[in-house]
Amino acid sequence: MTHNAPSPVLPELTVNHVEFYVADAREQADRLCGQYGFTTVAASGTPDGPGDHFSIALRQGGITLVVTEARSERHPAHAYVEAHGDGVADIALRTRDARAAFDRAVAAGAGPLSPPHRPRDSRAGVTAAIDGIGGIRHTFVQAPDEDTFLLPGFPDLGAAAEDTGTALLDIDHFAVCLGAGRLDAAVAFYGTALGLGLVFEEKINVGSQAMRSQVVQNASGTVTLTLIEPDPTADRGQIDAFLDSHRGDGVQHIAFRTDDVVRTVATLAGRGVEFLTTPGSYYDLLGERLTPDGHSIEELRRLNVLADEDHGGQLFQIFTHSVHPRRTFFLEIIERLGASTFGSSNIKALYEAVEAERAKAGALS
């Protein structure tokens, strides 16, 4: 079900960067550069020297990722990795007024993690941070002007990211898994705290399993969260498995947007990225419900890319195979040709593909 667009509250919010807490920053940076075409643009701390952390900043297109490992038990990455393994710790948001964003969020019930201040390395910027749903941190980043990119903790960013041919443009959305009964409160929180309105919702039934999904988004469409909870009255499935393995709520996947899914997926596969497979019967029936625009059914079949359409146009999407030791994080590649929804017709196929991977890995309880 599609809802009206959210009210224009804090429309200037965009994703500034995403920070992962990891056990080995260099290993993760090497994988993201080698397989996904990111470029290392800066580092903070040293892997073996003094200090409580080591961080590496990576960029590609409009995507900035930071991978941080703890060098001391005092750093929050230590406790995070102990509890959850590697994962998304901070979805940082750029705003024209960090203080106003912070005050609004705290008034809405967000836990204040860091009040608005000017860090020594901020180049005249302002940052603040709140505790979001499921312990996900949201750092507000206010740059000194619209043309300056500010990455807290990295005073000296290197040259612009190289064009490696993978054509990942920006972050389309985040998918967050929540414990049963927590979805409505999460939607309400993000509405009042960040001005993200409910734009889409549905209940997905696959065999004896079921889950609810609601999508919240800001007015300009630059910040989108897909929030998912399992149906406790149905059989346990992949959302329950995530919550058990991750030990709580958390980001299940990030969707990177491209303008040519066939080119991007073929390039990533050539660089060693493994994707989930889709039953051949999916493509046998695909032509009965849509005619793909810009890609042939045979191209989609060859690469296991899924297709769907809504009133606005079409979308193409595929999930990567999880390389996380707990199988609690993976990536999505998505191309939108006018579509604004999230591939409802593909959800069953995607769900079944993930279930097949879980069964193959012996992860079913």
Question: How far is residue 33's CA from residue 107's CA, in Å, rounded to a whole number?
Answer: 40
Lowest mean pLDDT segment, chosen from 121-130, 205-214, 265-274: 121-130
- Average pLDDT score over residue span 82-108: 96
**Binding site for Fe cation: which residues?**
173, 253, 332
Domain count for the chain: 2
Indicate the range of 82-86, 137-141, 218-222, 347-351 predicted with least confidence. 347-351
Q: What is the pLDDT of residue 7?
A: 42
Residues 68 and 25 in one domain: yes
Nearest in space to 340 (alpha carbons), one of 314, 318, 306 = 314
In a domain, 154, yes or no: no
CATH for 25: 3.10.180.10
For residues 232 and 217, give the distance between their C-alpha atoms in angstroms, rounded to a whole number.
Answer: 26
* Binding-site annotation: residue ranges: 173, 253, 332
| Domain co-membership, 135 together with 177 | no
Q: What is the pLDDT of residue 50?
A: 82
Cβ pair 261, 318 in contact under 8 A:
yes
Instruction: Identify residue 32 by its one-letter amino acid code.
Output: L
The residue range of the domain holding 340 is: 170-360
Cα–Cα distance measured from residue 256 to residue 169, given in angstroms and rounded to the nearest whole number: 7
Residue 340: count of CB within 10 angstroms of its CB: 18
Average pLDDT score, the chain = 91
SS3 for 22-65 is CCCHHHHHHHHHHHHCCEEEEEECCCCCCCCEEEEEEEECCEEE
Please state, in angstroms and rounded to a whole number, the distance separating the CA atoms of residues 5 and 43.
39
126 and 47 share a domain?
yes
7 in a structural domain: no
SS3 206: strand
Instruction: State whether the Cα torsion 206-185-328-306 is positive or negative.
Output: positive
Residue 44: inside a domain: yes
Which of 123, 142, 161 finishes a domain? Answer: 142
Q: Which pLDDT band holds residue 111 (cuts at 50, 70, 90)?
A: very high
Residue 110 lies in a domain: yes
Q: Is residue 157, in this structure, part of any structural domain at all? A: no
- Last residue in a domain, options 99, 125, 142: 142
Q: Is 209 helix (H, G, I), strand (E, B) or coil?
A: strand
